[in-house]
Chain A
Amino acid sequence: MDCGKARELSLDGLRQRLPSELAAELREHLSGCAPCSNHAEAERVLSEVLDASLPQYAAPLALKRRLAASWPASTPAAAPPRGIGRPAWASAMAMAAAVTLVVVGSTAFFVQQRSELRQLESETVNDHLRMLGGAPLAQVTGGLHEVKPWFGGKLDFAPAVRFAGNDDFPLQGGAVEPFLDRRAAVFVYKRRLHTASLFVVQDNGLAFPTSLRTRTVRGFSVALWKEGDQGYALVSDLNLRELLDLQAEIASP
């Protein structure tokens, strides 16, 4: 594969839209070509920044109500058989009401879900700042095997965390901290001089996303995800790429 082709395919490669054979060819080229590797990295960073920072606008509720109210009462596929249906005006009103309910309901759900995610992100940053402010950490000279038993009796669940730290992200310790209306197990990792806090909670009633979601909040990189019945919130002043490296280690089976 030449450089022109590699650059043409780098975005598709990033999105895993390439057939496996072509993806392997691309990986091989990138591993031996610094300029193309740099180009692929630039594409990845741009995607991250757009995903994390470009605002998304939800349609105002008033607009949705207007759309629903002005929608035709029925379509040919939905029309009742002649002679056995309600009067046309009744069908029209029922259809308009149903559409309004669906649209307004889905909007309310969308807005509420978004607002709950924002609340989780904000709480994660606040709690991280509290950790940086000097919350006491459990001793972890023995690594994860000392931290996890330490949580026994302090939490009503066993945090499912397998990553015991490594040379890049050594585990510093554990703590139990309030997180919204419940208690979280906190795992603190280091990266050079940066601190990353991982909050693990039981997710019942909270809006942890089923797939990984990242965002920059007040200058902190935040990652939220869910696994089983536990919610995970990872936060640091590391850049998003390094935070994602740590997240990959934590989420690795």
Chain B
Amino acid sequence: MRQSLAHADALYNFARWLARDPVEAEDLVQETYMRELGAAHQFDPGSNLKAWLFRILRNAFIDRRRRSQREGSPPSVEDLDADGERAEPAMGELQLDQIRALVAEDVSAAVHALPESFRTVILLDLEGMTEAEVANVLGCATGTVKSRLSRARAVLRDRLAAYRQYAEEGSR
């Protein structure tokens, strides 16, 4: 499946956001392609190659995190139950304006600060995947993706508004 190499940029971008480290991101992409080659016989040619590759990459990332935990690293914020986060009430126009004024640095920080499960659905959604495709990557039901995406976006909006408010207070 030589065409899978055409997804290298998208996979690397996803890996960068998951791992937060360029070296680990490269390792993850390489591992993804190695795993793909090893499991090529399991791929159904009629199914979605991109979603399959993203699923392999995410599984590789989770395996690495589990290994590092077994080796004694403390659990990170990634491991906390993201379902505990609750959406905030609807925003006012002022908060929306605050979010519009954010710069790339703030947006990056807010996305990085999300739990892994939330970050993943946000990134896959930005990749243009449908909820069914995201469900394929995560190995869960479409309804789960819908509710997780909704909660992830609510948490992100809340954090982005908080960043802007903090920046404005700091500049006074």
Contacts and interface: CB of A to CB of B under 8 A. Distances in A.
Interface stretch (B4-12, B49-57, B71-79): B4-12
Given A43-B153, A60-B26, A107-B9, A239 B108 contact: no
B2 A75 contact: yes
A49 B5 contact: no
Given A35-B90, A57-B13, A239 B101 contact: yes
Interface in A37-61: 38-39, 41-43, 45-46, 48-51, 53-60
B91 interface: yes
Given A38-B90, A46-B153, A57 B30 contact: no
Contacts of A103: 5-6, 8
Interface string A78-118: 10000000000000000000010011001100100000000
A67 B30 contact: yes
Most buried by B among A7, A59, A64, A75: A59
Contact of B103 (A42, A53, A66, A110): A53
A71 B5 contact: yes
Contacts of A53: 102-104, 106-107
A241 interface: yes
Given A42-B96, A49-B100, A216-B103, A99 B5 contact: yes
A106 to B, nearest CB: 7
A72 interface: yes
Tell me if A's interface is mostly helix, strand, loop or mixed. helix
Interface string B101-130: 111101110010000000000100010001
Tell me if B's interface is mostly helix, strand, loop or mixed. helix
Nearest to A35: B90
A8 B126 contact: no
A23 B120 CA distance: 27
A107 B5 CA distance: 11
Interface size class of A (residues with CB under 8 A): 35 or more
B140 to A, nearest CB: 17
Contacts of B25: 57
Contacts of B135: none
A240 interface: yes
A43 B101 CA distance: 15
A216 B103 CA distance: 8
Contacts of A64: 5, 8
A51 B153 CA distance: 13
Nearest to B26: A63
A220 to B, nearest CB: 12
A68 interface: yes
B69 to A, nearest CB: 26
Contacts of B29: 59, 63, 67
Considering the complex of A and B, which 10 residue pairs feature the smallest CB-CB distances, nearest first?
Answer: A59-B12, A53-B107, A57-B16, A53-B104, A239-B100, A59-B8, A57-B13, A38-B90, A58-B9, A42-B91
26 contacts: A8-B146, A11-B153, A38-B91, A41-B96, A42-B91, A42-B96, A46-B156, A46-B157, A49-B100, A49-B107, A51-B126, A53-B107, A54-B126, A55-B104, A57-B13, A57-B25, A59-B13, A64-B8, A67-B5, A67-B8, A67-B29, A70-B33, A78-B2, A106-B6, A107-B8, A107-B9
